[in-house]
């Protein structure tokens, strides 16, 4: 019964991200959740990283450590250097490279003294971190100044994996203007839904949403104002700098971007 309650909690947390004018897919429920008694207090606990982890995984994990430090007011140190042959620490948050895990899969094993996370690649660790944050109090993910002296995570064994190698999500910025900030939010929500490919539609035969350095007036002429008749919409297009920001944000989430131009 408790297992069903935890699964329902995780699913509702994932589904709550499905907003932003239909640009965000709904969340994915973990494939397997085995509930246990007790909870793990993550506040002030150290992070122990397998040195074989790639830089993207290490950066993503360090970001969570920083967030926990900010929310709890207790520093979560990050230590890299767990040998693959050594026994991992029996306390704290431990992240191990486990090449027996399928690509993009992960396992989160939470006991009262330790959270052990295993994955075989960056996407696996990124998805695991999303699951971990969804098991934590909402203040960890929300932009809030509220301090939490305890960050409790229910003890459980959570496993998830992907049935398809490519899981695309399309965002049409030609038919519907979307602010760059909303696009970045959509990328974060894509991760909760385990979407790993963004098909980003920027222009078609009649409408443009991209400013080209070779012809800067083209977007002004053919952006929304041209076909909508609404002069106030002039300028609804993306600059090279904004596109670069979106592409960098996507890379940080392990999302591949296809810019659809036809």
Q: Which pLDDT tens digits describe the chain residue by residue (262 residues)?
A: 555 454 544 444 434 333 333 344 556 788 999 999 999 999 999 999 999 999 999 999 999 999 999 999 999 999 998 876 678 889 999 999 999 999 999 999 999 999 999 999 999 999 999 999 999 998 898 766 678 899 999 999 999 999 999 999 999 887 777 888 999 999 999 999 999 999 998 776 555 555 555 555 655 555 544 444 444 444 567 777 888 999 999 999 999 999 866 5
Report all structural domains of the chain as residue ranges with CATH numbers, in order of start: 31-160 (3.30.379.10), 168-261 (3.30.750)
How far separated are the first and last CA of the chain, in Å rounded?
Answer: 52
Compute the distance between CA of residue 244 and CA of residue 261 in angstroms, rounded to an integer: 16
User: How many Å apart are CA 21 and CA 53, to the nearest integer?
Assistant: 36
Q: What secondary structure letter does DSSP report for 238? A: B
- pLDDT recorded at residue 217: 61
Give the pLDDT score at 213: 53
Closest listed residue to residue 91, CA positions, set 101, 105, 77: 77
- Amino acid 27: pLDDT: 62
> Can you tell me the distance from the alpha carbon of 119 to that of 99, in angstroms, rounded to the nearest whole number?
7
Identify the pLDDT of residue 32: 93
Q: What is the pLDDT of residue 234?
A: 47
Tell me if 250 sits within 8 A of 195, measured CB to CB.
Answer: no
Helical residues (DSSP H) of 148-254, grouped into ranges: 180-192, 217-222, 224-228, 240-252
What is the predicted pLDDT for the residue at 9? 47
């Amino acid at each position: 019964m408790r297992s069903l309650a935890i699964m329902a909690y995780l699913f509702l947390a994932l589904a709550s991200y499905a907003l932003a004018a239909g640009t965000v897919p709904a969340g994915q429920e973990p494939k397997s959740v085995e509930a246990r008694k007790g909870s793990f207090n993550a506040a002030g606990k150290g992070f122990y990283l397998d040195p074989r982890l790639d830089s993207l995984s290490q950066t993503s994990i360090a970001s969570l450590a920083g967030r926990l430090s900010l929310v709890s007011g207790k520093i979560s140190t990050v230590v890299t250097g767990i040998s693959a042959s050594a026994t991992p620490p029996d306390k704290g948050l431990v992240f191990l490279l486990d090449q027996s895990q399928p690509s993009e899969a992960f396992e989160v094993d939470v006991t009262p003294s330790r959270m052990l996370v295993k994955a075989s690649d960056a996407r696996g660790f990124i998805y695991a971190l999303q699951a971990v944050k969804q098991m934590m109090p909402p203040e960890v993910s929300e932009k809030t100044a509220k301090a939490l002296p305890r960050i409790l995570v229910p003890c459980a064994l959570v496993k998830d994996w992907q049935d398809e190698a490519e899981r695309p999500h399309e965002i049409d910025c030609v038919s519907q203007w979307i602010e760059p900030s909303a696009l970045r939010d959509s990328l974060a929500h894509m991760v909760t839904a385990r979407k790993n490919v963004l098909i980003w539609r920027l222009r078609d035969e009649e409408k443009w949403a991209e400013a080209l350095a070779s012809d800067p007036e083209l977007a002004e002429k053919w952006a929304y104002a041209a076909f909508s008749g609404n002069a106030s919409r002039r300028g609804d297009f993306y600059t090279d700098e904004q596109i670069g920001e979106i592409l960098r944000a996507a890379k940080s989430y392990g999302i591949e971007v296809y810019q659809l131009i036809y």
